Amino acid sequence: MCLLRSRLTEGKKVRCDNFRPMVNKLFASPEAALADIPDGSTIMIGGFGHAGMPAELIDALIAQGARELTIVNNNAGNADTGLAALLKAKRVRKILCSFPRQADSWHFDALYRAGEIELELVPQGTLAERIRAAGAGIGAFYTPTAYGTRLAEGKETRRIGDRDCVLEYPIHADYALIKAERADRWGNLVYRKSARNFGPIMASAARCAVVQVRETVELGALDPESIVTPGIFVKRVVRVAPSMRKAA
Amino acid sequence: MCLLRSRLTEGKKVRCDNFRPMVNKLFASPEAALADIPDGSTIMIGGFGHAGMPAELIDALIAQGARELTIVNNNAGNADTGLAALLKAKRVRKILCSFPRQADSWHFDALYRAGEIELELVPQGTLAERIRAAGAGIGAFYTPTAYGTRLAEGKETRRIGDRDCVLEYPIHADYALIKAERADRWGNLVYRKSARNFGPIMASAARCAVVQVRETVELGALDPESIVTPGIFVKRVVRVAPSMRKAA
Amino acid sequence: MKKLDKKQIAARVARDIPDGAYVNLGIGLPTLVADHLPRGREIILHSENGILGVGPKPAPGEEDEDLINAGKEPVTLLPGGAYFHHADSFGMIRGRHLDFCILGAFQVSVAGDLANWHTGGADAIPAVGGAMDLAVGAKKVLVMMEHLTKSGESKIVERCTYPLTGARCVNRIYTDLAVIDVKPDGLQVVEMVEGLSFDELQRLSGVPLRRLATAA
Amino acid sequence: MKKLDKKQIAARVARDIPDGAYVNLGIGLPTLVADHLPRGREIILHSENGILGVGPKPAPGEEDEDLINAGKEPVTLLPGGAYFHHADSFGMIRGRHLDFCILGAFQVSVAGDLANWHTGGADAIPAVGGAMDLAVGAKKVLVMMEHLTKSGESKIVERCTYPLTGARCVNRIYTDLAVIDVKPDGLQVVEMVEGLSFDELQRLSGVPLRRLATAA
């Protein structure tokens, strides 16, 4: 055959490039893994409380400098570090979360009262399902949650069977920053206890999922029955040693 | 306090009774686990090919005698045993599946051509998602699958972002008959290889999920990180020894 | 009359949870129920951040930052417990797999509407968490709260004045004064504390109540 | 001209799959592609019944009835592979996580409509499987088929006469005669077999084709 030209892999949908010789998604540092995040990105950040919070990736995002971000997280930052520090640095335009108000959410509270941050408050299960819908290619879904409440105002509703439902749309992201326990070079992940929380669904909903892990293992070392996030959802893995975690 | 009467657990929603002293979902035999299936039930049957097919439970369903069943399975029976035998015995009014036509689906083929069985043909991913939606309490969802095809005729559609979508509704079942590898008395399950297929979602979508397993283990013996179906979705577990499997 | 204290309300709720039940305890007051579950019953607690089979608080020094409940307090896992992600966890809730959830409340209406997430203040920063999912999801929604506000007004109301968490979702209310079922045709008093008359409870509640019919 | 046989078409498709790609091979003809993936490339095969990292056929006697592909043939799992359930598997597909899927076809239209599940016969028993999900889901949908039907008609058509699997979903067509891209403005020939002229290909295809512009 006379090969004229092969342009098959140049499709613009492949934004976060997987294709390297011998699949290897391991990155050397949080900084390297987040270097290309542009201003205006939508970024999901995993974690519920400290469990699953990718502290070192958030620190690297703060150092990286991207602005006008839209953040998706269950909360809106605690005390003065992590997401709260990102908010304090005025790098966040909008936040989608279920539970912003906490005893130590003072940076969010101040920005919110000053009108300097937009809040989209989403019931926690609807937040999870909207993220999952993005990852699973669902266009929209009807949920009974929040029907008849202030959080459903202005939304389409429909009675289905014995339940009144609200129409909700997926939340897609450009990047997901999550934490897992262990990964291999294909990006297969396992988590630890309740630190799993939003990690698997956020990885699936982002064009580029970046994962910090405590340990990397050889390909084949993870039990295929127990892999929670298959590597197809993961673009970049950074090992953050336990000692670094404590120091942070 | 003067207790007048406590009727809290009599709610009619709890149809498949969980409440026994020291949660123990283990049943003595497939027959015992299926004894109460009434005529007209909707029954999901797990499996894709032979992988995950609950052969002994299907045999017990045939022996049990319930009629006018609606069956949900990926296929419509092969050769002369299992689901095909249930069809042959004219116990099935309707089947929902993605791939009825196979080289050895002669019992289905004959009933279908004779107009003696109703077929709802569902794309495989839509079948899986409709089952998952039932388990997850989703009222309905929009999917791009089948838009513009014969299988979307008469269905609501909507353009969402860059994709035309079709509105699909959940598939609920009265019973699910599935196969797993290992269970404990709470009904926690792990599967084996590609035999996992429809098991986890069917368990979640049925009021009464009945599981045949190769092995039962002590509570606590399954790794909580690796449990695929938490026991909350499972009502009845029957151990079917490997030797029985071979004999069937 | 002898009002119940918080622990006593929790113990009263706990008595109604049957063996084998799957239960979610909302953050705050309802978490007390865990300490009063009757011995000899195996009750499986769900935490919406991805745990079934939540066990008791860890011993001091044994806390694990990766094992917390929905209130972000350290917990343990019972043998037979399992971990899962947030979408699966809320699928369990929304899909009506939990037998009970137990929630605190600002107000409950005679129709079973629940208000427990927002005081309605214009300046208040809202936060909802999983309350709206639990309110529509569990097979039975149990509310535990004090019967009266600090200023003496009934928290059981004709119509909620605070923003709703869910409409027509509450099945039973446990207060420091009484246990009350929400029925399609109104509120039905199941129990009252010693020394409280039905008429007094009716007066304090300010909404129509009726007694549970007993065998005469 | 030298028509390609099935294996040669499969080999030609395989050449276009880059290192690191996630790929689903439809049942039938496309499964041949697995045998021709270039050595030295790490390509991760997906099977819609819940496998990533599908490996080669097992040695005779090593088959495992719990480890089969979407065509229900015994397979193996590569190191790094994983199992998951059907909803997760089709989430991967529908959610556009697969880089490529490779499907057989009865017909492809100039607009990229695909017909591959139903001959349209009134008496035919329909069966769709995962084809409609793959058609809308993969980032790139590649079709491999013979260029002409047994009676010599083009399978590339102005409008599909068979029932559609998906509308405007095909990105590239590999036949025994040519490789053709489906572009928004029409079909563009990328390659032809030795000895076949563009005019002859145009005549056989019966729909407007154009040559890929090359540096003159």
d(Cα A74, Cα C49) in Å, to the nearest integer?
10
Q: H helices within D81-151, ranges in order?
A: 86-94, 131-137
- Helix crossing, C86-94 with A124-135: angle to 10°? 120
% of chain A with per-residue pLDDT over 70: 89
The residue of chain D nearest to residue A13, with distances taken between CA atoms, is D139
The residue of chain B nearest to residue C178, with distances taken between CA atoms, is B1
In sequence order, what are the residues at sequence separation of 6 or more whose Cβ sits closer than 8 angstroms to the Cβ of residue C187?
C110, C156, C173, C180, C181, C205, C207, C208, C209, C210
Catalytic residues of C: 48
User: How much is the pLDDT for B59?
Assistant: 97
Residue C112 located in a structural domain: yes
d(Cα A14, Cα C3) in Å, to the nearest integer?
65
d(Cα A56, Cα A54) in Å, to the nearest integer?
6
Q: Does C166 touch chain A (CB under 8 A)?
A: yes
Helix (H) / strand (E) element for D15: namely helix D6-15
Per-residue model confidence as pLDDT tens digits over A103-130: 999 999 999 999 999 999 999 999 999 9
3-state secondary structure D176-203: CCEEEEEECCEEEEEEECCCCCHHHHHH
Please, which chains are in contact with A (at least 3 CB pairs closer than 8 A)? B, C, D
Q: Any idea which of A143-157, D92-106, D114-128, D158-172 has the lowest mean pLDDT? A: D114-128
A–D CB contacts, 8 A cutoff, strictly below: 110
The residue of chain B nearest to residue C96, with distances taken between CA atoms, is B137
The dihedral built from the CA positions of residue D155, D156, D158 and D164, taken in this order, carries a sign that is positive
In sequence order, what are the residues at sequence separation of 6 or more whose Cβ sits closer than 8 angstroms to the Cβ of residue C215?
none
Q: In chain D, which residues have their Cβ closer than 8 Å to the Cβ of A134?
A: 95
Q: Between chains, do D133 and B151 touch, taking CB under 8 Å as contact? A: no
Q: Between chains, do B98 and D126 touch, taking CB under 8 Å as contact? A: no
Residue D2 located in a structural domain: no
Measured in degrees and rounded to the nearest 5, phi and psi for residue B184 equal: -115, 180
Q: Between chains, do C66 and A121 touch, taking CB under 8 Å as contact? A: no
Q: H helices within C16-155, ranges in order?
A: 86-94, 131-137
Q: In chain B, which residues have their Cβ closer than 8 Å to the Cβ of D136?
A: 144-145, 147, 163
Q: Between chains, do A224 and D193 touch, taking CB under 8 Å as contact? A: no
Q: Which of D15, D16, D80 sits opposite A188 (nearest CB)?
A: D80
d(Cα D59, Cα D55) in Å, to the nearest integer?
12
Judging contact as 3 or more Cβ pairs under 8 Å, the answer for D and B is yes
| Closest by Cα among B146, A133, C131, B161 to D166 | B146
Confirm if B225 and A180 have CB atoms less than 8 A apart. no
The dihedral built from the CA positions of residue C86, C91, C94 and C96, taken in this order, carries a sign that is negative
Q: Does A227 touch chain B (CB under 8 A)?
A: no
CA distances, B215 to each of A205, B194, B243, D160 (Å): 36, 18, 12, 51
Residue C159 located in a structural domain: yes
CA C64 to chain centre: 27
The dihedral built from the CA positions of residue A191, A144, A154 and C163, taken in this order, carries a sign that is negative
DSSP B75: B
User: How much is the pLDDT for C5?
Assistant: 97
DSSP B99: B
d(Cα C139, Cα D176) in Å, to the nearest integer?
60
Residue C215 has pLDDT above 90, yes or no: no
Per-residue model confidence as pLDDT tens digits over C155-167: 999 999 999 999 9
Residue C190 has pLDDT above 70, yes or no: yes
What is residue C66's three-state secondary structure?
A: coil
Residue C216 located in a structural domain: no
Q: Does B13 touch chain A (CB under 8 A)?
A: no
Residue D198 located in a structural domain: yes
Q: Which of B124, B195, B201 sits opposite D66 (nearest CB)?
A: B195
User: How much is the pLDDT for C121?
Assistant: 86
Q: Any idea which of A239-248, D135-144, D156-165 has the lowest mean pLDDT? A: A239-248
Q: H helices within chain B, ranges in order?
A: 30-34, 55-64, 83-88, 106-113, 124-135, 199-205, 242-247
| pTM confidence score | 0.94
Measured in degrees and rounded to the nearest 5, phi and psi for residue A121 equal: -85, 125
Confirm if B208 and B176 have CB atoms less than 8 A apart. yes
User: How much is the pLDDT for D1?
Assistant: 85
Q: Which of A129, A137, A142 sits opposite B140 (nearest CB)?
A: A142
Q: Does D47 touch chain B (CB under 8 A)?
A: yes
CA distances, A82 to each of A47, A105, B167 (Å): 11, 12, 40
Residue D178 located in a structural domain: yes
Count Cα atoms within 13 angstroms, Cβ side, for D76: 12
Q: In chain D, which residues have their Cβ closer than 8 Å to the Cβ of B100?
A: 125-127
Per-residue model confidence as pLDDT tens digits over C135-151: 999 999 999 999 999 99
DSSP letters for chain A: -------GGG-TT--S----SS---EES-HHHHHTTPPTT-EEEE--BTTBT--HHHHHHHHHH---SEEEE-SBS--TTSTHHHHHHTT-EEEEEESB---TT-HHHHHHHHTT-SEEEE--HHHHHHHHHHHHTT--EEEESTTTTSGGGTTS-EEEETTEEEEEE----EEEEEEEEEEE-TT--EE--GGGGTTHHHHHHHEEEEEEEEEEE--TT-S-TTT-SB-GGG--EEEE--HHHHHH-
| Closest by Cα among C64, C48, C49, B231 to A196 | C49
Q: In chain B, which residues have their Cβ closer than 8 Å to the Cβ of C77?
A: 224
CB atoms within 10 A of CB C40: 8
Tell me the one-letter amino acid at D162: Y
Helix (H) / strand (E) element for C14: namely helix C6-15
Tell me the one-letter amino acid at B165: C
Q: In chain B, which residues have their Cβ closer than 8 Å to the Cβ of D83?
A: 191, 193-194, 196
d(Cα C170, Cα C113) in Å, to the nearest integer?
6
Chain B closest-CA separation from residue D132 CA (Å): 6
User: How much is the pLDDT for A243?
Assistant: 54
d(Cα C52, Cα C67) in Å, to the nearest integer?
12
User: How much is the pLDDT for D214?
Assistant: 60
Helix (H) / strand (E) element for C15: namely helix C6-15
Q: Which of D66, D87, D137 sits opposite B51 (nearest CB)?
A: D66
Which CATH number belongs to the domain containing residue D111 in this structure?
3.40.1080.10
The dihedral built from the CA positions of residue D128, D129, D131 and D133, taken in this order, carries a sign that is positive
C28: left (phi over 0), alpha (psi -120 to 50) or beta: left
Q: Which of D72, D129, D164 sits opposite B98 (nearest CB)?
A: D129
d(Cα D155, Cα A184) in Å, to the nearest integer?
44
| Closest by Cα among B121, B113, B126, B123 to B87 | B113
Q: Between chains, do D191 and A3 touch, taking CB under 8 Å as contact? A: yes
Q: Between chains, do B140 and A169 touch, taking CB under 8 Å as contact? A: no
Residue A11 has pLDDT above 80, yes or no: no
Please, which chains are in contact with C (at least 3 CB pairs closer than 8 A)? A, B
Chain C closest-CA separation from residue A245 CA (Å): 12
Q: Between chains, do A225 and B191 touch, taking CB under 8 Å as contact? A: yes
| Closest by Cα among A192, A143, A148, A137 to A167 | A143
Confirm if B166 and B155 have CB atoms less than 8 A apart. yes
Q: Which residues pair with A229 in a beta bridge?
A: A189
The residue of chain B nearest to residue C15, with distances taken between CA atoms, is B6
CA C161 to chain centre: 20
Please, which chains are in contact with D (at least 3 CB pairs closer than 8 A)? A, B
List the Cα angle A78/A82/A88 in 5-degree steps: 75
Q: In chain A, which residues have their Cβ closer than 8 Å to the Cβ of C67?
A: 51, 193-194
Q: Between chains, do B184 and C212 touch, taking CB under 8 Å as contact? A: no
Helix (H) / strand (E) element for C25: namely strand C22-25
Confirm if B114 and B107 have CB atoms less than 8 A apart. no
CA distances, A132 to each of B169, B201, D122, D135 (Å): 18, 15, 39, 21
User: How much is the pLDDT for A174?
Assistant: 98
Residue A165 has pLDDT above 70, yes or no: yes
d(Cα A97, Cα A111) in Å, to the nearest integer?
15
B–D CB contacts, 8 A cutoff, strictly below: 143
Q: Between chains, do B1 and C192 touch, taking CB under 8 Å as contact? A: yes
Q: Does C190 touch chain B (CB under 8 A)?
A: yes
Q: Which two tokens stand for residue D175?
A: 């036949």
Residue D58 domain boundaries = 8-211
Q: Does C91 touch chain B (CB under 8 A)?
A: yes
d(Cα B153, Cα C125) in Å, to the nearest integer?
47
Pick the catalytic residue from D42, D48, D63, D73.
D48
User: How much is the pLDDT for C28?
Assistant: 87
Per-residue model confidence as pLDDT tens digits over D197-213: 999 999 999 999 999 87
Scanning the structure block, which residue is given the tokens 């899962």? C84
Chain B closest-CA separation from residue C122 CA (Å): 32
Tell me the one-letter amino acid at B96: L
In tens digits, what is the pLDDT along chain B, a chain of 248 residues?
A: 433 333 333 333 334 444 444 899 999 999 999 999 999 999 999 999 899 999 999 999 999 999 999 999 999 999 999 999 999 999 999 999 999 998 999 999 999 999 999 999 999 999 999 999 999 999 999 999 999 999 999 999 999 999 999 999 999 999 999 999 999 999 999 999 999 999 999 999 999 999 999 999 999 999 999 999 999 999 999 999 865 444 33
Residue D59 located in a structural domain: yes
Given the DSSP bridges, would you call strands D22-25 and C209-211 parallel, antiparallel or unpaired? Answer: unpaired
d(Cα C47, Cα C69) in Å, to the nearest integer?
6
Q: Does A124 touch chain B (CB under 8 A)?
A: no
Q: In chain B, which residues have their Cβ closer than 8 Å to the Cβ of A168?
A: none
Residue A6 has pLDDT above 70, yes or no: no
Q: In chain D, which residues have their Cβ closer than 8 Å to the Cβ of A3?
A: 191
**What's the domain count of chain D?**
1
Residue A1 burial by Cβ neighbours in a 10 Å radius (0-12, 13-18, 19+)? middle
Chain A closest-CA separation from residue D16 CA (Å): 7
Q: Does C128 touch chain A (CB under 8 A)?
A: yes
Residue C39 located in a structural domain: yes
Residue C214 has pLDDT above 90, yes or no: no
Scanning the structure block, which residue is given the tokens 């699936």? A204
Q: For testing the chain D interface, which of A2, A3, A8, A223 should be mutated: the one with the most D CBs within 10 Å?
A: A8
Q: Between chains, do D90 and B151 touch, taking CB under 8 Å as contact? A: no
